[in-house]
Amino acid sequence: MPKQSQDIPFLAAMLPFIVMIVTMMTTIMVFEGSPHIPLLIGAVTAGIVAWFHGYSWEALEGYIYDGIKKVLPAVVILILVGLLISSWVAGGVVGAMIYYGLEFLSPDYFLPALLLICAFSTLMMGSSWSTIGTLGVAGMAAGTSMGLPPAAIAGAIVSGAFFGDKMSPLSDTTILASGIAGANIFAHIRHMLYTTIPGLVIALVVFMFMAHSTDAGELSQSIGSVVNSLQANYAISPWLFIIPLLIPVLATRKVPAIPTLIIGIVLGSLSYLWIQGGDMKTLFSVLQGGYVSATGNETVDNLLSQGGLDSMMYTVSLAMIAMMFGGIMESTGMLNALVGKIVRLARSGRSLCAVTVGSSFLTNVVTAEQYISIIIPGRMYAQSFRDKKLHPKNLS
């Protein structure tokens, strides 16, 4: 082994990335596994390449720890979000939002109303998958019974769910994007308003034209059963809306994310104890392992069985392993060797943004994994954005 570390050439720097991408594609698309092990294999490959170019184990170990440190702010927020979701579900906050949303759903404006309900539900829960798999299923059944085109119903569900997921401070991808780029999460969300609000308005206008009324004055049986189950199993009150509405109020007052989330957790827990009649022993179990709904209604139980500290460990472990890979790639100069070739195409801030979007898009297509599409390009272009004096929110 050389006594002095050497600059790692472009082709050698490409090797860990190629190994990671190939193993990622095989694991996810063929074996339907998770991206954790491919990332770990990529990190090991990066370490071997760096070792052959003169980097000691002590140095590589330090680079790994430095990489993990960069994602710790996002990890803290993810942990708090898991606690927040479980406390809000147990406290009846999420149930109340779903109840009032479905209770006043009008068939005359079914598609835009469904879009807004899915958007609001995801905004408060932070999970587009949960909304699509539960409210989306119920909405599909209701819309189909009204004679609406299934493709249009699915479009309204997905549009609303993805809007809410992008704009929610509880969304793991929103937290991860802002954390990786080094942007304040609320600054990140406000910056996305420029594109997401016009997108939402366009979608609403389109679905307003597509919606039509039916002679049935009632919603489908699936929607009615959800409403009845929520009313029978939770203390539903419009006063519960005070808790979720407090989050954006605190954000506009520029209260930091962590105190804001802690306040939300405390209020959700108090709602569970005082309004829903829960006990401390069950509360601690819910905060750790998540809330498990047992109403007997499959749609309601699937929607409300979520949250908890444990639910965030998948994303936390993924972020930490990804930053092990990123820490070695970045600190040994391999990331710069790769990015240098690409950034030559970006002579301005606008072109750098375009290159970043293209890289993220291609990473998502190749790996079929949105977390990796956030983490890898996020670390690749962080320095380039700083060099051009662009705010981190532009990267996130």
State if pTM tops 0.85.
no
Q: Over the stretch 97-111, which tens digit does the pLDDT of each residue have?
A: 778 766 766 666 788
Which of the four pLDDT bands, split at 50, 70 and 90, describes residue 267? very high
Give the residue-averaged pLDDT of 205-231.
68
pLDDT (mean) for 122-132: 75
Q: Which residue has the higher pLDDT, 252 or 241?
A: 241
Instruction: Please report, for residues 78, 182, 256, 321, 379, the alpha-carbon distance to residue 396 in angstroms, rounded to integers and kept in the order given.
Output: 17, 8, 18, 20, 10
Report pLDDT for 87. 92
Q: 157 pLDDT exceeds 70?
A: yes
The lowest-confidence range among 40-44, 73-77, 228-232 is 73-77
Percent of the chain scored above 90 by pLDDT? 25
Q: Which position has the higher pLDDT, 294 or 214?
A: 294
| Least trusted range by pLDDT, from 167-171, 202-206, 217-221 | 217-221
27-45 pLDDT, tens digit each: 888 888 888 999 899 999 9
Task: Quote the pLDDT of residue 281.
Answer: 94
Query: CA 113, CA 157: separation in Å to the nearest integer?
Result: 10
**Res. 263: pLDDT tops 60:** yes
Residue type, 163: F
Residues facing 306 on adjacent strands: 291
pLDDT computed for residue 48 by the predictor = 95
What's the chain's average pLDDT?
A: 83
